[in-house]
Structure 1
Amino acid sequence: MTEARLWQLDAHEIVARTRTGDLSAEQAVGAAIERMEAVNPALNAVVQSCADQAMDRARALDKARADGAEPGPLFGVPVTIKVNVDQTGFATTNGVSALKDMIAPDDAPVVRNLQDAGAVVIGRTNTPEFSFRADTDNPLHGRTHNPWGRHISPGGSSGGAGAAVMAGIGALAHGNDIGGSLRFPAAANGAVTVKPGLGRVPAWNPSQKAERGMLAQSMSVQGLITRSAADLHLSMPSLIAADPRDPFHVPLPWRGETPEGPVRVAFTKATYGYDLHPEVDAALDTARDALADAGYQVEEIETPDAFDAGRTGYRALMGEVWALMKPDVEAYGSQTVRDIFEVYFAEFPPYHGTELLQMMAKRSHYAREWSLFLDRYPLVLSPFLPQPFFKPDRDTEGAEGVHEVLGAAVWSYAMNYMGLPAASVPARLALLPGGPQPINVQITARRWREDMAVDAAAAIEARIGRMCTHLWPLMG
């Protein structure tokens, strides 16, 4: 492969070459930066370049390797970091103009863990204001575009991350997820991700002035968006390394025990009143058949009520947002995001006072129901969204827009509320009137078994291939 095509390598391919010395960190990182400089102006996925620091770090890694240092598990892998997480010397803007000068004094655990493993940060990716939309646009950094075309939103809130990694800007993209912010961009861009369960990845921002609300703490997780399931297996063991700054991190290994016999998968097409689009229906069938071909025992069966759990959880989150976050949105947010939040509060009427405490307590009820179900069926294959991904700014179109964008996504935020891991993987390329777009499905796993969700994603990927092979020819 020539130097000009090194940006196409997945992380596991980069590591295979850098660890043998066939490829230097400087070459791998330099190719990713060249790709970023070529395609990012049209995408606006990366809003802060780290190119100079990245090249210095890559050369330092190569020198240390030459001096006898053992290369880390992610040696020379170019990565991006979302702008709502602290990286020393860079502004943690969270897409908010008022935070443009809030320079991080230290690295967040995820940044430290990636760099300790030998990864190199090449840029920081865009997020909507307050990281609280399923689309990515803000007055400070502007709009991020989907590499598949401007007929599709890039997703959010890790929209910059999803667009960047699928466009070839780095092999790994950091993101986070409180209601779907890893899985929305994965679905929009045809990428692969796993939303880790509660406590799996250490989290904290050294720049923060106060602790987040309890639901924000228990629903939000850090993760990675990749082009292949294999890259999740490669990188997540480094991301989950313990950090004492997160006192609730659970120090479990990435891989759990190998289950005996075929893994049972509960298969459902439940959309809870929303119409299931034929392309999503076909993607679910393809994913089901792929898992069956791979030896999984797939059974179509009714699961515990994801709608009740999801809606209750998001209404509780809106109650916390109303109390703790709404004043900042009103003070520092654009008119667009203030209007969107008003519709959020109408779509998900916030719980307040005693009722909020009762609904927060009910989280254990839902988690117990699902725990019992997942004891029999370790995996659940379901829709992510009932329809193909929406257009940019759909959530600015009042109640109907928010109802389509977030209201329909109960399979997403239900898993955040219960703290369960959930992977997203493309299972179909739909040829729609507006243009081609990927269709992702979701795989929920029992607690602490992100690895099983990723294994299933890999089985689906083995049948349908990776979406980047279709995307890159379209990009030129």
Structure 2
Amino acid sequence: MTKTELWRLSATELAAQTTRGDIRAEDAVQSALDRMQQVNPTLNAVVEDLGVEALQRARDLDRARDAGAPVGPLHGVPVTIKINVDQKGHATSNGVVALKDVIAPDDAPVVSNLQKAGAIVIGRTNTPEFSFRADTDNPLHGRTHNPWGKHISPGGSSGGAGAAVMAGVGALAHGNDIGGSLRFPAAANGAVTVKPGLGRVPAWNPSQTVERGMLAQSMSVQGLLTRSAADLHLSMPSLIASDPRDPFHVPLPWRGEAMDGPTKVAFTKNTFGYALHDEVDKALDTARDALMDAGYDVHEVEPPDVFECGRAGYRALMGEVLTLLKSDIEAAGSQTIRDIFDVYFQEFPPIVETELLQMMAKRSHYAREWSLFLQDYPLVLSPFLPQPFFGPDRDTEGAEGVHEVLGCAVYSYSMNFLGLPAASVPSRLAMLPKGPQPINVQIAARRWREDLAVDAAQAIEDRVGQMAPILWEKLETG
């Protein structure tokens, strides 16, 4: 492989070759930057180019390695960081014009952990205003496009991250997830991710002036979007390294104890009255068959009521947003985001005051039901969305649009309310009238067992293959 093609390598392949000295970190970074210059003008996924400092850091890492210094597990791997997380000296704008000059005084734990592991940040990726849409567009940086085509939203709120990593701009992409913001872009772009469980990855922004609401703290998590499941196994152990700035981080190893016998999987196609599209149905069958062939013990059985739990959790979150954030959204948000939030409040009537406290308490009831169920079935294979991914700006089309984008996504935000890990992996490439489109499924896992979810994602990927090479061929041939 030529130097110019190093961007095609996975994080696992890159780290192995830079560690051995087969390739230089500088060459790996330069190749990723060249790829960014090639594809990003069309995608608008990376909105801050950090090429100059990335190349300098790569040269420093190369010199240190040459001098015999130990290298980290992500040595020389190019990564991107989402613009809603602090990176020292750069704006944490969160897609909001009024925040464009909020310069981070220090790195957030996830940025620090990635860099300590040897990763090199090549750019910062786009997000919607306040990182609160399942699509990615804002008045500050504009719209991000899906590399599969403009017929598909890139997802959100980590839409820039998903589009970038799948287009070959960095082998890893940082993102975060309060209701699906890692898994929506994974599903939209055909990437692989795992939403970590509560307390798994340390989180905090040094630039913040007040603490977030309790539901935001308990539902929001930091993670990574990748092109392969193996890259999650490589990178997540570094991301979960402890940081004292997050006092509620749980310092557990990435790998848990081996299962006693074949891992049992609960399999469901229940979409709670929403129409299950034929392509999603086929994707679920493919994922189920892949797991069975890989030795998993799959049973068609219903987990605890994800619809009731998910809707209650998101209504509670909307109550917290209404109380703590609505004034900021009204003051600094565009008319578009203000209109979307008005419809959010219709779709998810906010739970407030005493009822909000009661629902926050009831969260333990839902979590206990799932904890007991996951004792018998450590994994749950389900749809992520009942339909193929929606088009850009679907959530601006009133109640019907928001209902299709978020209303039906109960398998997504229920996992945030429960604080459970959930992976997303493509299991089918649908050839739809508007164009090709990846279809992802979700794999929820027992608490603290993100590794089991990623193992299952890898088994599905082994059967289906990765989406990135197909996408790159499409981009090259037009």
Which amino acid in structure 1 is aligned with residue 167 of structure 2?
A
The alignment's TM-score, normalised by the length of structure 1, stands at 1.00
Amino acid at match of 2:423: A
Structure 1, residues 378-430: CA drift from partner, whole Å, max 9, x if none? 00000000000000000000000000000000000000000000000000000
**Offset of residue 338 of structure 1:** 0.1
Deviation at 1:4, TM superposition (A): 1.7
CA distance in 1, matches of 2:225, 2:388: 19
CA offsets per residue over residues 182-232 of structure 1, 9 Å max, x none?
Answer: 000000000000000000000000000000000000000000000000000
Q: Deviations over 1:139-192 (max 9, x none)?
A: 000000000000000000000000000000000000000000000000000000
1:257 maps onto 2:257 in alignment: yes
3-state secondary structure, aligned to 1:33: helix
> How far apart, in 2, do the equivalents of 1:19 and 1:81 lie?
23
Q: Distance in 2 between matches of 1:468 and 1:203?
A: 29
- What's the CA shift for 1:16? 1.1
Letter in 2 for 1:378: P
Aligned to 2:397: 397
Amino acid at match of 1:337: I
Kindly report which structure 2 residues correspond to 1:75-154, keeping only aligned pairs within 5 A, or say none.
75-154=75-154
1:433-452 residue pairs with structure 2 within 5 A?
Answer: 433-452=433-452
Structure 2 gaps, min length 5 = none
CA distance in 1, matches of 2:155, 2:149: 13
The CA deviation string for residues 29-84 of structure 1, in whole angstroms up to 9 with x for no partner, is 11000000110000000000110000000000001111110111000000000000
1:33 matched to which residue of 2? 33
User: Partner letter of residue 183 of structure 2?
Assistant: R
SS in structure 1 of the partner of residue 179 of structure 2: coil
SS for the counterpart of 2:39 is helix
Q: CA deviation at 1:329?
A: 0.3
Amino acid at match of 1:442: Q
1:97: Cα distance to partner? 0.2
Does residue 191 of structure 1 match 2:203? no
CA-based RMSD: 0.3
Q: Deviations over 1:313-364 (max 9, x none)?
A: 0000000000000000000000000000000000000011100100111100
Partner of 2:157: 157
1:146 is matched by which residue type in structure 2? N
Is the partner of 2:79 in helix, strand or coil?
strand
The equivalent residue for 2:364 is 364
- 1:457 matched residue in structure 2: 457
Give identity over the alignment, percent.
Answer: 78
Partner in structure 1 of residue 322 of structure 2? 322
Q: Which residue of 2 aligns with 1:177?
A: 177
Aligned to 2:417: 417
The 1-side partners of 2:150 and 2:304 are apart by: 37
**How many angstroms does 1:245 deviate by?**
0.1
- Give me the TM-score of the superposition, normalised by structure 2: 0.99
| CA-CA distance at 1:3 after TM superposition | 1.2
Q: Distance in 1 between matches of 2:304 and 2:114?
A: 36
The runs of 5 or more residues in structure 1 that have no matched partner are: none
2: distance between equivalents of 1:49 and 1:67? 29
Query: Hey, what's the Cα distance between the residues in 2 that align with 1:282 and 1:266?
Result: 17
Q: Which runs of 4+ in 1 moved over 3 A?
A: none
Letter in 2 for 1:250: V
Cross-structure match for 1:466: 466
Q: Distance in 2 between matches of 1:292 and 1:283?
A: 14
1:8-27 superposed matches below 5 A:
8-27=8-27
User: In structure 2, how many angstroms separate the alpha carbons of the residues matched to 1:452 and 1:333?
Assistant: 40
Counterparts of 1:417 and 1:241, CA distance in 2: 23
Measured in 2, the distance between the counterparts of 1:377 and 1:171 equals 33
Aligned equivalent of 2:166 = 166
Asked if residue 211 in structure 1 is aligned to residue 218 in structure 2, the reply is: no
Helix, strand or coil: the match of 2:443?
Answer: strand
In structure 2, how many angstroms separate the alpha carbons of the residues matched to 1:13 and 1:408? 38
Residue 469 (structure 1) shift? 1.5
| Deviations 1:231-287 (CA, angstroms, capped at 9, x unpaired) | 000000000000000000000000000001100000000101100000000000000
Aligned to 1:308: 308
Q: CA deviation at 1:303?
A: 1.1
Separation in structure 2 between the aligned mates of residue 304 and residue 275 of structure 1, nearest angstrom: 20
Name the SS of the counterpart of 1:224 in structure 2.
strand
Q: Aligned partners of 1:118 and 1:448: how far apart in 2?
A: 25
- Alpha-carbon distance between aligned partners in 2 of 1:136 and 1:302, rounded to the nearest angstrom: 33
Give, in angstroms, the shift of residue 302 of structure 1. 1.2
Q: Distance in 1 between matches of 2:475 and 2:457?
A: 25
Residues in 2 aligned to 1:78 and 1:427: alpha-carbon distance in whole angstroms: 26
Partner of 2:48: 48
Aligned to 1:287: 287
Cα distance in 1, alignment partners of residues 240 and 184 from structure 2: 22
Local SS of the residue matching 1:288: helix
Partner of 1:347 in structure 2? 347
Q: Which residue of 2 aligns with 1:245?
A: 245
- Whole-Å separation in 2 of the counterparts to 1:350 and 1:273: 22
Partner SS state of residue 20, structure 2: coil
Distance 2:424 2:55 in 1: 32
Report the counterpart of residue 224 of structure 1 in structure 2: 224
For 1:173 and 1:282, the matched residues in 2 are separated by 28
SS in structure 2 of the partner of residue 222 of structure 1:
strand
1:98 Cα deviation (Å)? 0.2
Alpha-carbon separation, structure 1, partners of 2:30 and 2:470:
24
Q: What amino acid maps onto 2:314 in structure 1? A: Y
